[in-house]
Amino acid sequence: MAERGIVILGSGSLTRSICYSLAAVCAAECVVTVVSTTPSSSAEVCYVADVRAASSGTPVRFRALSADRYAAESISSILRQTRPRIVLNCASYQSPWEKTRSPSAWTALMNSAGFGLTLPLQAAVAIEAASAIAALDPPPLFLNACFPDAVNPLLKTLELPIFCGVGNVALLAASLRESLRPARGGRLQVLGHHWHLHTPDHAADEALAWLDGTPVREVGPLLRRQRAAARSELNAVTGHVTALLLADLVTGREVRTSLPGPLGLPGGYPVRIYGRSLALDLPADMSPAQAVALNSAWAERDGVSVEENGEVRFSAWASLAIRSELPDFPNAVHARDIPELCSRLLDLRGRLRRTRAASADHH
């Protein structure tokens, strides 16, 4: 594999935010390849990022490649051509903010069933990418940005490669760092789940944080500004934090941070990365078993959990909500059946998107 190089799958708003920040912060000579099924979109991202890099005086360069679809064969061909150190997946079949931009009966169903219902739509491209990476020797590091708290454990049960995710707990950690403003070099550790992007009903269910080994009290109020911001705006933060991580990873620098889905674990954890190795970096009063148990409990509240045996279980309320449209929707499926379930949900979404959300009918 090339010593330095990044392939990013997808050309949506998160990819744009990552590339635009990476152009300004990456001091290493590096080629970032943006792969999209919409050539004009990836070309536009790379143009803007290249201009930002030139204006910032950084040596990073961007190039656009297209794929007819995000399938393992297409991705494999691109990876053999580019030989990257890192592959980052930002492509999925479901936008997290569709409900605010294009409300419909589909987004109403997501609201009632919970975000966990979209796991098959979030996982489909990641499975294809991981399958392509598994055939390479040595494989690049695979990072996933699409619901990594649940998708990464799913990849692990399928015995597919996964290094870590980005976003979610990393966004929580960035927001807490802004609120706490620790001294330079201060060590912030955050344990949290995608579910914590929203305020829990009970303070006891809040994400956990430690600053220099001491528990942070009243985490919820410290996250108030983040939780009040539009999700689409938060991509500017997630993208920047991810760019900083990538800039460190391409050079092999040691990193201590908090990331979702490290090595396929559910939820998000403090981690230490050194070279191609990753380990949990938990505070002294938190064991790995305790941390996983907490994240597994938080996953239930998000509407879906992935068991070590490969069983993907949807919560009772999520299953009940979707059975109004798909009466035979299962409570649980095996991870290997997720692509088929994705196809069924795509068909359902196509039909429901043509139906206005019930609330819109009363405006």
DSSP assignments along 207-240, one per residue: -EEEETTEEPS-HHHHTHHHHHS-HHHHHHHHHH
pLDDT for the residue numbered 151: 98
Domain assignment present for residue 248? The answer is yes
Domain assignment present for residue 348? The answer is no
pLDDT for the residue numbered 231: 85
Domain assignment present for residue 204? The answer is yes
Is 235:171 a contact under the CB 8 Å cutoff?
no
Domain assignment present for residue 200? The answer is yes
Number of domains in the chain: 1
Residue pointed to by tokens 């405006």: 363
pLDDT for the residue numbered 148: 98
pLDDT for the residue numbered 1: 39
Q: What is the pLDDT of residues 311-360, one digit of tens each?
A: 999 999 899 999 999 999 999 999 999 999 999 999 999 999 987 654 44
Domain assignment present for residue 38? The answer is no
Residue 123 CB neighbour total at 10 angstroms: 29
The conformation of residue 68, written as its DSSP 8-state character, comes to: S
pLDDT for the residue numbered 363: 39
pLDDT for the residue numbered 359: 47
Of 84, 288, 293, 259, nearest to 172 by C-alpha is 259
* Domain housing 176: 169-295
Domain assignment present for residue 175? The answer is yes
Instruction: Look over the chain and give the mean of its residue pLDDT values, rounded to a whole number.
Output: 94
Domain assignment present for residue 99? The answer is no
pLDDT of the chain along its 363 residues, tens only? 345 799 999 999 999 999 999 999 999 999 999 999 999 999 999 999 999 999 999 999 999 999 999 999 999 999 999 999 999 999 999 987 787 788 899 999 988 898 899 999 999 999 999 999 999 999 999 999 999 999 999 999 999 999 999 999 999 999 999 999 998 889 999 999 999 999 999 999 999 999 999 999 999 999 999 999 988 899 999 999 999 999 999 999 999 999 999 999 999 999 999 999 999 999 999 999 999 999 999 999 999 999 999 999 999 989 999 999 999 999 999 999 999 999 999 999 999 998 765 444 443
Residue 257: which CATH number?
3.90.110
Domain assignment present for residue 236? The answer is yes
* Rounded Cα–Cα distance for residues 128 and 146 (Å): 13
* Rounded Cα–Cα distance for residues 140 and 237 (Å): 25
